[in-house]
C-alpha cells in the first residue's frame, strides 16, 4: 500500500474557493498536490498487483473528491463545478507539474457516463447512477467493441432480445478497459437484426456487471499488464428501465459518449508530455543531445508538441464559446496529431537512449503515457493509435468529412 503524506492532514485545502484569482488558485493547487501526492508513487506502482492498483486509484479519486476536483468539468446542477477554460488549464498544468496519477480506472465514470446520461438518460437513471460515479464509488466500463466489430463498430452482433420486462443479452464484447473491476457497463447491443441500416438496430443499455451470466476475462496486453478485458454474455437479463433513450436509437447516443471527453484527457496527457520533453532533454544533455541527428529530431518533435498544446487550447476555447458543437472538427485533428506524436516521440527515445531502454520491466500502472520506462511507454502508445478510432479511421474522417473527398 502506498504511504500517504501525513501533511495532508495538517490543513484543509480548498483550491476552488480561490478560483477567482488564477494565481492564488494555482498556488493552492500546488500546495494541495505537494501535500497529497506521494513523491514515490510511480516506484510503488511499477509492477504493482491489481489489488494495490485499485486501492491506490480509489485513494486518489477520494483525495480529488475532498477538494472537488474529481468532477470539476461536470455542470453545477449535477454537483460539478462548471470549471472555466482558464481554470481547467491551471488544473492540468499543476497536475502535470506534480506528476499526479491519472485516475484511469474512473475514465468512463467521470467522462463517458455523464456525457451519455446528461443528454439521454431518464431522471431516474441520472439520480440512480451519477451519484455513485461522482462519489468515486462505482467503476464503469464500456461495452462497445466486439471481436468482429472494431473500426466497423456498427456491425456489432451482441444480441439483446426483449422478453417481458427485461432484455436478454447474448454475445461478447472486447477491449473494455478495466472491465474486471467494473460495477457497471455502458453496453451497445443489437435489438433489431433486420434493420435496413446496421446503425439503426442498435440499443444502448446500462448493465450491472454482477448480473448472472456475465463473465469477464482480462486481456494481457503487449506491455505484459492487463488493462483491457473481454466480457461474455450468456442469457444476461437487463431490466427494461436500463435502456438509455429509445430502442434502436443507441447508435446516435453512442456518438455523444464517444465525444465525451472532448479532448480533456488528451489535454492532461499533453501537459504531461510537455513536462516529459523538459525532463528527457535534461537527461539527454548527458548523452544523445550531443548528437546532431538526435537533437534535430528532438527539435522537430518539440515543435510538434508545442503545436499540439496550442491546438488543444484552441479546442477548449471553441468548446467554451459553443458547448454544444464547439471543437467537433479540431478534436479529430488533435486525436491524430497526439497519437502519432506520442508514438514517434516514444520511439525516438528508444533510439536516442539506446539499449538500456529495452530492459524488461513492469509498467507503472496509472502513470500515463510518459512514465520514463521507455519501451513500455512506446508499446503503450499503440493504445492511442488504435483505440477510440484508429489513425486510419481518423484519416478517413478527416478526408471525407473535413476535406470533402468522395467515399470509396
Partner 1 sequence: MNSDADRDGLQSSIREVLREECAIDTIQRHVLSGRDFDDSLWHCIASLGWLGLSISDQHGGLGLGMDALAILYRELGRALAPVPVLSTLLAADAIQELGNEQQRQRWLPAIAAGRLRATISDPTRSVVLDARRQGSDIVLEGGAEVLLDGALTDLSLLLVNVDGQLLFAVLDRATPGVTLEQLPVVDQTRSFGRLSLDDVTITSDRVLGGSAVESVCDRLMLHAAVAVASDAMGGAESILASTIEYLKLRQQFGKVIGTFQALKHRVADHHVAIIGAEALVENVAEEASRGRPDLAGALECKALATSVYARIAQDCIQLHGGIGFTWEHPAHLFLKRALVDATLFGSVEQTLDRFIARLGV
Rounded CA gap, 163 and 27, in Å?
57
Buried b (16+ CB within 10 A) or exposed e, 14-42: ebbebbeeeeebbebbbebbebbbbeebb
Size of the site for partner 1 (CB under 8 A): 37
DSSP string, 4-58: PPGGGGTS---GGGGTTSHHHHHHHHHHHHHHHS-TTHHHHHBT--HHHHHHHHH
Rounded CA gap, 208 and 132, in Å?
13
State the catalytic residue, choosing from 261, 271, 297, 324. Answer: 261
Find the shortest distance in angstroms from Cβ 406 to partner 1.
5
DSSP string, 66-131: HTT-SSTTS-GGGT-----HHHHHHHHHHHHHTTPPP-GGGHIIIIIHHHHHHHH--HHHHHHHHH
Nearer to partner 1 by Cβ, of 78 and 281: the residue is: 281
Binding mask 224-263 for partner 1 (x = CB under 8 A): ----------------------------------------
Nearer to partner 1 by Cβ, of 159 and 302: the residue is: 302
Binding mask 285-324 for partner 1 (x = CB under 8 A): x---xx-x--xx-xxx-xxx-xxx-xx--x----------
Q: Which sign, positive or negative, has the C-alpha torsion 187, 166, 235, 195?
A: negative
Rounded CA gap, 277 and 304, in Å?
11
Positions in 264-283 near partner 1 (CB under 8 A):
281
Positions in 369-398 near partner 1 (CB under 8 A):
392, 394-396, 398
Rounded CA gap, 381 and 102, in Å?
16
Find the shortest distance in angstroms from Cβ 301 to partner 1.
10
Find the shortest distance in angstroms from Cβ 402 to partner 1.
7
Binding mask 325-354 for partner 1 (x = CB under 8 A): -----x--x--xx-----------------
1, 14, 325, 399: residue in contact with partner 1 (rule CB under 8 A): 399
Nearer to partner 1 by Cβ, of 199 and 396: the residue is: 396
Find the shortest distance in angstroms from Cβ 396 to partner 1.
7
Find the shortest distance in angstroms from Cβ 65 to partner 1.
35
CA dihedral angle for residue 95, residue 370, residue 280, residue 60, rounded to 10 degrees = 30
400 flagged as catalytic: no
Active site residues: 261
Q: Which residues form the interface with partner 1 (CB under 8 A)?
A: 281, 285, 289-290, 292, 295-296, 298-300, 302-304, 306-308, 310-311, 314, 330, 333, 336-337, 392, 394-396, 398-400, 402-408
Amino acid at each position: 500500500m502506498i504511504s500517504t503524506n501525513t501533511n495532508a492532514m495538517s490543513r484543509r485545502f480548498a483550491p476552488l474557493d480561490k478560483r477567482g484569482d488564477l494565481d492564488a488558485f494555482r498556488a493552492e493547487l500546488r500546495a494541495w498536490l505537494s501535500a497529497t501526492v506521494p513523491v514515490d508513487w510511480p516506484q510503488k506502482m511499477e509492477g504493482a498487483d491489481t489489488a494495490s492498483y485499485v486501492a491506490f486509484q480509489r485513494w486518489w479519486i477520494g483525495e480529488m473528491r475532498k477538494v472537488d476536483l474529481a468532477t470539476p468539468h461536470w455542470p453545477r446542477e449535477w454537483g460539478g463545478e462548471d470549471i472555466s477554460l482558464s481554470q481547467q488549464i491551471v488544473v492540468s498544468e499543476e497536475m502535470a507539474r506534480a506528476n499526479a496519477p491519472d485516475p484511469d480506472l474512473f475514465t468512463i465514470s467521470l467522462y463517458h457516463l455523464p456525457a451519455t446520461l446528461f443528454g439521454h438518460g431518464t431522471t431516474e437513471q441520472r439520480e440512480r447512477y451519477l451519484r455513485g460515479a461522482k462519489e468515486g464509488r462505482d467503476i464503469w466500463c464500456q461495452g462497445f467493441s466486439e471481436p468482429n466489430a472494431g473500426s466497423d463498430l456498427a456491425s456489432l452482433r451482441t444480441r439483446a432480445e426483449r422478453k417481458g420486462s427485461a432484455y436478454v443479452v447474448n454475445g461478447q464484447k472486447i477491449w473494455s478497459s478495466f472491465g474486471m473491476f467494473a460495477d457497471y457497463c455502458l453496453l451497445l447491443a443489437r435489438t433489431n437484426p433486420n434493420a435496413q441500416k446496421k446503425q439503426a438496430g442498435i440499443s444502448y443499455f446500462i448493465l450491472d456487471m454482477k448480473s448472472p451470466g456475465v463473465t469477464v476475462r482480462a486481456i494481457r496486453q503487449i506491455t505484459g499488464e492487463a488493462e483491457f478485458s473481454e466480457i461474455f454474455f450468456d442469457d444476461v437479463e437487463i431490466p427494461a428501465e436500463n435502456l438509455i433513450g429509445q430502442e434502436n436509437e443507441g447508435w446516435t447516443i453512442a456518438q455523444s459518449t464517444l465525444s465525451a471527453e472532448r479532448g480533456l484527457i488528451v489535454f492532461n496527457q499533453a501537459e504531461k508530455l510537455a513536462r516529459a520533453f523538459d525532463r528527457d532533454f535534461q537527461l539527454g544533455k548527458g548523452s544523445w543531445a550531443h548528437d546532431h541527428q538526435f537533437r534535430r529530431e528532438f527539435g522537430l518533435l518539440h515543435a510538434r508538441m508545442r503545436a499540439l498544446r496550442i491546438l488543444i487550447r484552441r479546442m477548449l476555447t471553441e468548446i467554451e464559446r459553443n458547448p454544444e458543437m464547439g471543437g467537433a472538427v479540431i478534436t479529430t485533428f488533435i486525436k491524430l496529431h497526439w497519437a502519432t506524436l506520442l508514438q514517434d516521440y516514444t520511439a525516438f527515445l528508444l533510439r536516442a537512449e539506446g539499449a538500456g531502454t529495452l530492459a524488461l520491466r513492469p509498467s507503472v500502472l496509472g502513470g500515463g503515457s510518459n512514465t520514463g520506462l521507455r519501451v513500455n511507454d512506446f508499446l503503450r502508445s499503440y493504445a492511442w493509435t488504435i483505440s477510440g478510432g484508429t489513425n486510419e479511421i481518423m484519416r478517413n474522417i478527416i478526408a471525407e468529412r473535413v476535406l470533402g473527398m468522395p467515399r470509396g
